[in-house]
Amino acid sequence: MVIEFLTFIVPSDKREEWESLDNEVWTSFLSAQKGFIRKELWHSTENEDELHAVIWWEDKASWAAITPAQISKVDEGMGEFLIEPMMREFRVVRDR
Protein backbone atom coordinates (compact mmCIF):
# COMPACT_ATOMS: atom_id res chain seq x y z
CA MET A 1 0.00 0.00 0.00
CA VAL A 2 1.20 3.51 -0.85
CA ILE A 3 0.20 6.84 0.66
CA GLU A 4 0.14 10.03 -1.37
CA PHE A 5 0.56 12.85 1.17
CA LEU A 6 -0.20 16.33 -0.13
CA THR A 7 0.18 19.53 1.88
CA PHE A 8 -1.82 22.57 0.81
CA ILE A 9 -1.61 26.08 2.19
CA VAL A 10 -5.21 27.27 2.09
CA PRO A 11 -6.08 30.65 3.63
CA SER A 12 -8.45 29.98 6.54
CA ASP A 13 -11.11 32.32 5.10
CA LYS A 14 -11.19 30.18 1.92
CA ARG A 15 -10.89 26.75 3.58
CA GLU A 16 -14.58 25.81 3.61
CA GLU A 17 -15.00 26.63 -0.09
CA TRP A 18 -11.72 24.91 -0.99
CA GLU A 19 -12.62 21.74 0.93
CA SER A 20 -16.03 21.55 -0.74
CA LEU A 21 -14.61 22.03 -4.23
CA ASP A 22 -11.74 19.60 -3.58
CA ASN A 23 -14.28 16.97 -2.56
CA GLU A 24 -16.45 17.63 -5.62
CA VAL A 25 -13.57 17.73 -8.10
CA TRP A 26 -10.61 15.72 -6.87
CA THR A 27 -12.16 13.21 -4.49
CA SER A 28 -14.84 12.34 -7.05
CA PHE A 29 -12.19 11.77 -9.72
CA LEU A 30 -9.93 9.71 -7.44
CA SER A 31 -12.82 7.56 -6.22
CA ALA A 32 -13.32 6.31 -9.78
CA GLN A 33 -9.67 5.27 -10.22
CA LYS A 34 -8.53 1.66 -10.09
CA GLY A 35 -6.51 0.99 -6.94
CA PHE A 36 -7.87 3.99 -5.00
CA ILE A 37 -8.70 3.03 -1.41
CA ARG A 38 -9.63 6.25 0.38
CA LYS A 39 -8.83 9.90 0.88
CA GLU A 40 -8.68 11.74 4.17
CA LEU A 41 -8.32 15.48 4.69
CA TRP A 42 -6.37 16.51 7.79
CA HIS A 43 -6.27 20.01 9.25
CA SER A 44 -3.03 20.95 10.98
CA THR A 45 -3.29 21.93 14.64
CA GLU A 46 -0.01 23.84 14.28
CA ASN A 47 -0.84 25.98 11.24
CA GLU A 48 -4.36 27.29 10.64
CA ASP A 49 -3.81 27.46 6.87
CA GLU A 50 -2.30 23.99 6.40
CA LEU A 51 -4.37 21.08 5.09
CA HIS A 52 -3.09 17.59 4.31
CA ALA A 53 -4.76 15.31 1.78
CA VAL A 54 -3.86 11.72 2.64
CA ILE A 55 -4.66 9.41 -0.26
CA TRP A 56 -4.41 5.62 0.12
CA TRP A 57 -3.56 3.51 -2.95
CA GLU A 58 -3.37 -0.27 -3.34
CA ASP A 59 0.00 0.14 -5.04
CA LYS A 60 2.24 2.66 -6.77
CA ALA A 61 1.22 1.42 -10.23
CA SER A 62 -2.41 2.42 -9.60
CA TRP A 63 -1.42 5.90 -8.52
CA ALA A 64 1.06 6.26 -11.40
CA ALA A 65 -1.61 5.23 -13.94
CA ILE A 66 -3.12 8.72 -13.67
CA THR A 67 -1.71 10.68 -16.59
CA PRO A 68 -0.48 14.28 -16.57
CA ALA A 69 -3.30 15.11 -19.00
CA GLN A 70 -5.88 13.75 -16.54
CA ILE A 71 -4.31 15.74 -13.71
CA SER A 72 -4.41 18.94 -15.76
CA LYS A 73 -8.04 18.41 -16.66
CA VAL A 74 -9.10 17.77 -13.06
CA ASP A 75 -6.99 20.71 -11.85
CA GLU A 76 -8.96 22.97 -14.20
CA GLY A 77 -12.05 22.11 -12.18
CA MET A 78 -10.49 23.76 -9.12
CA GLY A 79 -10.50 27.10 -10.96
CA GLU A 80 -9.33 29.98 -8.77
CA PHE A 81 -8.97 27.53 -5.85
CA LEU A 82 -6.17 25.57 -7.52
CA ILE A 83 -3.25 25.40 -5.08
CA GLU A 84 0.00 23.63 -5.87
CA PRO A 85 0.69 21.18 -3.04
CA MET A 86 3.89 19.94 -1.53
CA MET A 87 3.89 16.19 -2.21
CA ARG A 88 5.37 13.32 -0.24
CA GLU A 89 5.03 9.56 -0.63
CA PHE A 90 4.93 6.90 2.05
CA ARG A 91 4.86 3.12 1.89
CA VAL A 92 2.73 1.33 4.47
CA VAL A 93 4.93 -1.08 6.40
CA ARG A 94 2.26 -2.45 8.70
CA ASP A 95 -1.51 -2.04 8.71
CA ARG A 96 -3.46 -3.51 11.61
Domain boundaries of the chain, sorted by first residue: 2-91
Q: How confident is the model at residue 10 (pLDDT cuts 50, 70, 90)?
A: very high
**Helices (H), ranges, the chain:** 15-22, 28-31, 60-64, 68-76
Q: Which fold has domain 2-91?
A: Alpha-Beta Plaits (3.30.70)
Q: What is the pLDDT of residues 29-78, one digit of tens each?
A: 999 999 999 999 999 999 999 999 999 999 999 999 999 999 999 999 99
